[in-house]
Chains A and B, each alone.
Chain A
Amino acid sequence: MTTPWRVLWTLAWRNLWRNHRRTLIMLAAIAIGVWAMIFLTAIMRGMVDDMVRGGIHTLPGHVQVHHPAYRDDPSVANRMPPPDPTLAAALAAPEVVAWSGRVKVPAIISSERDSRGVSLIGIDPVADDRLAGIAATIVEGRFLEGPADRGVLIGARLAERLETRLGKRVVVMSQDPDNDIADRGFRIVGIFRARLQGVEESLVYAGLETVQRMLRIDEELTEVAVLGDDYRDVDALYRDIAAAAGAQRETLPWYELDGYLGSMLRVMDGFVLVWIVIVFVALSFGLVNTLAMAVFERVREIGMMQALGMRPAAIVWQILLESLCLLGLGLLLGDLLAVLSLWAMQGGVDVSAVAAGMEMAGYGSMLYPSLQWRDLLTANVVVIVLGLLTSLLPAWRASRYAPIEALAKT
Chain B
Amino acid sequence: MSAVTCAALCKTFQQGEETIIGLDRVDLKIDSGDFVCLSGPSGSGKTTLLNAIGGLDKPDSGVITVAGQRIDRLGKGDLADMRLHHIGFVFQAYNLIPVLTARENVEFVMQIQGVAAATRRARSMAILEEVGLRGLHERRPAQLSGGQQQRVAVARAIVSRPALVLADEPTANLDSVTAEHLMDLFVELNQRHGSTFVIATHDSRVMAHARRLIRMQDGRIIEELAQR
> Which residues of chain A have a CB within 8 Å of any CB of chain B?
1-2, 4, 6-7, 10-11, 14-15, 18, 300-301, 304-314, 402-404, 407
Contact = CB atoms under 8 A, between A and B. Distances in A.
Interface stretch (B49-57, B131-139, B183-191): B49-57
Given A7-B107, A309-B80, 13 more contacts: A1-B84, A6-B111, A10-B104, A11-B100, A307-B54, A307-B83, A309-B82, A309-B87, A312-B76, A312-B80, A313-B77, A314-B112, A404-B57
Given A1-B81, A403-B56, A404-B56, A308 B108 contact: yes
Contacts of B83: 307-309
A307 B89 contact: yes
Interface stretch (B91-99, B195-203, B204-212): B91-99
B111 A7 contact: yes
A98 B211 CA distance: 97
B114 interface: yes
Nearest to A16: B99
A313 to B, nearest CB: 8
A7 B95 contact: no
B84 A308 contact: yes
Contacts of A304: 91, 95, 97
Listed residue (A10, A14, A307, A313) with the most chain B CB atoms within 10 angstroms of its CB: A307
Contacts of B36: none
B94 to A, nearest CB: 10
A7 B84 CA distance: 15
B97 A11 contact: yes
A16 to B, nearest CB: 9
Given A309-B81, A403-B56, A407-B56, A18 B112 contact: no
Nearest to B107: A7
Nearest to B76: A312
Nearest to A15: B99
A308 B109 contact: yes
B99, B104, B114, most chain A CB atoms within 10 A: B99
The 5 closest A-B pairs by CB, nearest first: A309-B84, A14-B99, A7-B111, A304-B95, A309-B83
From A2, A301, A308, A403, name the one whose CB has the most chain B CB atoms within 10 angstroms.
A308
A375 to B, nearest CB: 37
Nearest to A1: B81
B112 A309 contact: yes
Interface in B26-64: 51, 54, 56-57
B112 A306 contact: no
Q: Is the interface of B mostly helix, strand, loop or mixed?
A: helix
B85 interface: yes
A278 to B, nearest CB: 35
Contacts of B112: 1, 4, 7, 308-310, 314
A146 B87 CA distance: 94
Contacts of B51: 404
8 contacts: A2-B114, A7-B108, A11-B99, A18-B99, A301-B97, A309-B82, A403-B56, A404-B51
Contact of A307 (B56, B85, B113): B56
B80 A310 contact: yes
B100 A14 contact: yes
A403 B84 CA distance: 14
Contacts of B77: 311-313
A2 B87 CA distance: 19
B109 A311 contact: no
A132 B24 CA distance: 93
A247 B81 CA distance: 70
A314 B112 CA distance: 9
Contacts of B108: 7, 305, 308
B97 A306 contact: no
Contact of B100 (A1, A4, A10, A310): A10
Nearest to A17: B99
B141 to A, nearest CB: 11
Which of B51, B100, B107, B111 has the most A CB atoms < 10 Å from its CB?
Answer: B111
A314 B89 CA distance: 19
Contacts of B104: 7, 10
A306 B84 CA distance: 9
B118 to A, nearest CB: 13
Given A306-B80, A307-B54, A300 B95 contact: yes
Contacts of A14: 99-100
B89 A308 contact: yes
Contacts of B54: 307
A305 B111 CA distance: 12
Nearest to A313: B77
A302 to B, nearest CB: 10
Given A2-B114, A404-B51, A407-B95, A309 B85 contact: yes
Nearest to B166: A307
Contacts of B82: 309
Nearest to B84: A309
Nearest to A310: B112
B200 to A, nearest CB: 14
Contacts of A308: 83-84, 89, 108-109, 112, 156
A305 B56 contact: no
A198 to B, nearest CB: 67
Contacts of A310: 80, 84, 112
A4 B98 CA distance: 18
Contacts of A313: 77
Interface string B94-126: 010111100010011101111000000000000
Contacts of A11: 97, 99-100
Instruction: Point out which of B77, B108, B113, B114 has the most chain A C-beta atoms below 10 A from its C-beta.
Output: B108
A306 B107 CA distance: 15
Nearest to B114: A2
A301 B99 CA distance: 11
A312 B156 CA distance: 20
